[in-house]
Structure 1
Amino acid sequence: MAFEETWRWFGPNDPFSLKEIKQTGAKGIVTALHHIPIGEVWSVDEIIKRKKMIEEEKLKWSVVESVPVHEDIKKRKGNYKLYIENYKETIRNLSKCGIDIVCYNFMPVLDWSRTDLETVFDDGSITTKFETKAFAAFDLFILKRKDAEKDYTEKQIEEAKQYFNSLSDFQKEKLVNTILFGLPGSWETYTLEEFKKSLEDYKDINKNDLRNNLIYFLNEVIPVAEESNVFMVIHPDDPPRSLLGLPRIVSTKEDIEIILSSVNSYNNGLTLCTGSLGAGYENNVVEIANAFSDRINFLHLRNVIRDSQGNFMEADHLNGDIDLYNVIKLLLIEQKRRIQQGRKDVRMPMRPDHGRLMIPDMNKKGIYPGYSLFGRMRALAELRGLELGIIHSLGIE
């Protein structure tokens, strides 16, 4: 047995077709119904329509990424009860259509953060990075968030100031647009004023509050997931630290332990994103994978080069600071153990998460950063080779 090779596809508006994806060797599709507003029910008809589109190309809808969690649920305010009921109904409907893994996250306001989407790698390909002084410059001198200086040391403030003063007006605008960049599949962005308002909505919500709101949500939806044989797998924070005063609760081994133990069910699981967790300098991704191996149902495999100052850059999948060899090895062993135990969740889909923009894709429009065809195809080939070597070395059939 091996991991199910999958590919993230953003639906009919994706610049890459299912026919192109099929030629990468991936068998499963990771997608979502991006056209349905967040908080509304995904009907069986809409799910089946997308599923048929995928199956016509002899592919399989392997994982939903994501059924977004409405901000009202994260804040436990407004119409949060209605949105939770709608979420439950969506889980039931996905189950009726034979889809049993749902990836989601609980990050407030921003689902990910980078300060540069066009970093040139040493081979001329393009990658993304997060630079602490650039983000601090945005926070302190562009957004001008109230009390922001309390989140930084004097040295960090001085470095951010020098960096900000070195920027042209064009570069400042580019930094704003990068940080406020839209979510995959949507291409929508916040205006600066909308962003400030969204941050203001969280001013009275601390880490414990957000965690309690997640646990409330899990206590509501996991019983439905159990009844429906659907595995809910939470995605870690990206990057795994508080930003802009917003709490983050899926950033460390300790965070994950609290979440998984709060509702102790195999249906309450983890998406192991080696890049998101790996961006935390103190996080040992192999140790985290080992600690929660029996609750991991979906793998995002990517690599980063990181430092103790919080800076990181997305790197070659097999040549960054994260030990993907041992992550893959221990999870292949875990998969074999599940098969021997007769568990239902033995598929463990894997997708090459992100990939650098390479020459054949550079003139193609509409490519979301990290989601080029050739960059991900290279990553999938590398990961496939590594996995095959480990399988043979372990004698796993």
Structure 2
Amino acid sequence: MKMVFRWFGEGNDTVTLNQIKQIPGVEGIVWALHDVTAGEEWPMDKIMEIKAKADQAGLHIKVVESVNIHEDIKLGLPSRDKYIENYKKTIAKLAQVGVKVICYNFMPVFDWVRTDLHKELGDGSTALFYEKSKITDLDLFEQVKRINENPNFTMPGWEPERLGRLTELFDAYRGVTEEHLWDNVKYFLDEIIPVAAEHDIRMAIHPDDPPWPIFGLPRIMTGQANIRRFLKLHDSPYNGITLCSGSLGANPANDIVSMVHEFADRIPFTHLRNVRVYENGDFIETSHRTQDGTVDMSGIVQALHMNNFEGFCRPDHGRHIWDEQCRPGYGLYDRALGIMYLWGLWDAYSKGSHTERTVVQR
């Protein structure tokens, strides 16, 4: 398991590269050009700026999250070919600086949805919260305003230029079904996977967050059966998934441990975090510790270890603790604590495996 840490860039993140490199076992950053609009080709000079900063800190840039998919690709419009060509050119550029994994998603309009960015937990910390009853009556325009009220930090998936077209986008998706989305993602893969293979970059689609249709928009990356169907669209190691325990874990019916065992060779990247799901369908993000949520974090790490996972892992959303002022879900302290918990599990399973081998040898 190779540990990495998401970084939003200088001036766009409260966490510094110097702080990241002090977290034990962290080898690289998970990055993106957040000021480049979805569908545009990434400029090489901006890519090199990120590489230079990471090199100076002694961190690699092998994982990109995300090269966003233009909505015209998801909608299957004739204009998608132009944006797919830009995507191919970006893949080629990223290969030049050593990128090995591109995380992306195929969620219409929204990358993720929460109703409260700072819901207080019993210990006084705050976290991202999803209140099911509020979704039906949620004022999307007010939510966009609330999420982007701090112009100093971009919120991935809620970029102002995209969400300024909310009415237009919802009109465009009227009548688009899950099967349409399946057709459109296959078209995208048919074009992209050969290019990714040529440049030795593994594409890793992120599950939908939350993993069910929302606001009348279709969603397809929701559980084990759909992931299986997706991977069969292109039976190639370059067509993989980002296993996100938090996104998938919002639906208690998802058996993430089983997914690790079934899809192990198609998981180049993992997002590991915990959530607590309530009986009414609400959920809140918690610490990474297994007993603090409803996701079997220890079982997931054990399954990764059993399958000799050598891909990249990052701690996903953390709580906001110790009065840290940060982008919602992306502070330093709780994610660093999460890394140490994940390493503790990994080391314990490694020690157990060594002991078992020693006993067998005797």
TM-score, normalisation: structure 2? 0.90
Supply the distance in 1 between the matched residues of 2:200 and 2:242 (Cα, whole angstroms): 17
Supply the distance in 2 between the matched residues of 1:237 and 1:119 (Cα, whole angstroms): 22
Q: Is 1:5 aligned with 2:3?
A: yes
- Which residue of 2 is the match for residue 313 of structure 1? 284
Q: Is 1:126 aligned with 2:126?
A: yes
1:350 counterpart (297, 313, 320): 313
Matched residue type, 1:359? W
- Which residue of 2 is the match for residue 383 of structure 1? 342
Matched residue type, 1:387? W
Q: Is 1:211 aligned with 2:182?
A: yes
Aligned partners of 2:68 and 2:104 also within 8 Å? yes
* SS across alignment from 1:184: coil
1:181-192, aligned counterparts within 5 Å?
Answer: 184=155, 188-189=159-160
Matched residue type, 1:6? V
Q: Runs of 5+ in structure 1 lacking a partner?
A: 144-171, 337-345
1:217-236, aligned counterparts within 5 Å?
Answer: 217-236=188-207
- Which residue of 2 is the match for residue 302 of structure 1? 273
Supply the distance in 1 between the matched residues of 2:148 and 2:9 (Cα, whole angstroms): 23
Please list the CA deviations of residues 254-292 of structure 1 after superposition, one character each: whole Å capped at 9, or x if unmatched: 110111001000000010000000001321111122221
Matched residue type, 1:223? P
Distance of aligned partners of 1:218 and 1:272 in 2 relative to their CA distance in 1, 3 Å threshold: same
Please list the CA deviations of residues 211-264 of structure 1 after superposition, one character each: whole Å capped at 9, or x if unmatched: 110011001100111111110000000000000110001001111011100100
- Which residue of 2 is the match for residue 333 of structure 1? 306
Distance of aligned partners of 1:308 and 1:200 in 2 relative to their CA distance in 1, 3 Å threshold: farther
- Which residue of 1 is the match for residue 360 of structure 2? none
Matched residue type, 2:312? P
Seq. identity, %:
40
Matched residue type, 1:349? F
Distance of aligned partners of 1:180 and 1:237 in 2 relative to their CA distance in 1, 3 Å threshold: farther
Aligned partners of 1:241 and 1:248 also within 8 Å? yes
> How far off its partner does 1:62 sit?
2.7
Distance of aligned partners of 1:228 and 1:178 in 2 relative to their CA distance in 1, 3 Å threshold: same
1:249-260, aligned counterparts within 5 Å?
Answer: 249-260=220-231
- Which residue of 2 is the match for residue 196 of structure 1? 167
Aligned partners of 1:100 and 1:231 also within 8 Å? yes
Please list the CA deviations of residues 298-354 of structure 1 after superposition, one character each: whole Å capped at 9, or x if unmatched: 010001111354311111212211111121112122226xxxxxxxxx4x1111101
Supply the distance in 2 between the matched residues of 1:190 and 1:34 (Cα, whole angstroms): 12
Supply the distance in 1 between the matched residues of 2:258 and 2:108 (Cα, whole angstroms): 26
- Which residue of 2 is the match for residue 74 of structure 1? 74
Supply the distance in 2 between the matched residues of 1:83 and 1:176 (Cα, whole angstroms): 25
> How far off its partner does 1:385 sit?
1.2
1:247 counterpart (209, 218, 221): 218
Distance of aligned partners of 1:186 and 1:267 in 2 relative to their CA distance in 1, 3 Å threshold: closer
> How far off its partner does 1:137 sit?
2.0
Supply the distance in 2 between the matched residues of 1:178 and 1:304 (Cα, whole angstroms): 23
- Which residue of 2 is the match for residue 288 of structure 1? 259
Supply the distance in 2 between the matched residues of 1:179 and 1:285 (Cα, whole angstroms): 29
* SS across alignment from 2:306: helix
Distance of aligned partners of 1:100 and 1:6 in 2 relative to their CA distance in 1, 3 Å threshold: same
Supply the distance in 2 between the matched residues of 1:53 and 1:296 (Cα, whole angstroms): 28
TM-score, normalisation: structure 1? 0.83
Q: Runs of 5+ in structure 2 lacking a partner?
A: 358-362
> How far off its partner does 1:187 sit?
6.8
